[in-house]
Amino acid sequence: MSFGTIATALVSFRQLAELHGGALSLASAVGEGTSVTIRLPASRVGSRTAKVA
């Protein structure tokens, strides 16, 4: 997987998280790797929920 592909995916995930009131964060340490965290709220006040038939 190329750097450009990973960068594009991270931007998309960040936008999706923010759209739902959440956030994406990255932490990296040389020799240890990178950690990606996506946080989404358990619920949103005033949000609409779809009814499943």
pLDDT means per 10 residues, the chain with 53 residues, are 83 92 93 92 66 56
pLDDT at 42: 85
Contact 46, 21 (CB under 8 A): no
**6-11 long-range CB contacts below 8 Å, 24 or more apart?**
10/36
The count of structural domains within the chain is 1
Domain with 34 in it: 3-39
* Residue 48 belongs to a domain: no
Helix (H) or strand (E) holding 8: helix 3-19
Phi, psi of 33 (to 5 degrees): 110, -170
Please report the beta strands in the chain, taking only residues with DSSP state E, as ranges in sequence order. Answer: 23-29, 33-39
* Residue 23 belongs to a domain: yes
* Residue 12 belongs to a domain: yes
Q: Is the pTM higher than 0.85?
A: no
* Residue 24 belongs to a domain: yes
* Residue 52 belongs to a domain: no
* Residue 8 belongs to a domain: yes
* Residue 31 belongs to a domain: yes
